[in-house]
Amino acid sequence: MQIRWSDAGRVSARRFMRDDQDGLRAVGLAILSLADDPYPAEAFHRGNYHRLRVGRYRILYFIDGDVITIERVDRLT
């Protein structure tokens, strides 16, 4: 599987880089692991829409064929 970031996905993740580098490292590792298992059991799956929680963060991604597109990274309060 190939992983790519949408422009909105990059912008949404960059908002947290200065405040929480450890949290974003965990997000990065979780995203890399999606290449091996794009349908982890702990994720919410509905059609091509998927949502994965990693600590305080939620990753929104879409799967189209063999491409995973990271659409958004949000921090939960």
Q: Please state the domain extents for the chain.
A: 2-75
- Predicted confidence at residue 77, as pLDDT, reads 76
Say how far apart CA 9 and CA 31 lie, in whole Å: 12
Instruction: Give pTM, 2 decimals.
Output: 0.90
How many residues does this entry show for the chain?
77
Q: What is the pLDDT of residue 3?
A: 96
The structure tokens listed for 16 are 């947290």
List the chain pLDDT tens, one digit each, 77 residues: 899 999 999 999 988 888 888 898 999 999 999 999 999 999 999 988 999 999 999 999 999 999 999 999 999 87
Report the alpha-carbon distance of residue 49 to residue 31 in Å, rounded: 15
Longest dimension (CA), the chain: 34
Options 3.90.320.10, 3.30.360.10, 3.60.20.10, 3.30.2310.20; CATH of 2-75: 3.30.2310.20
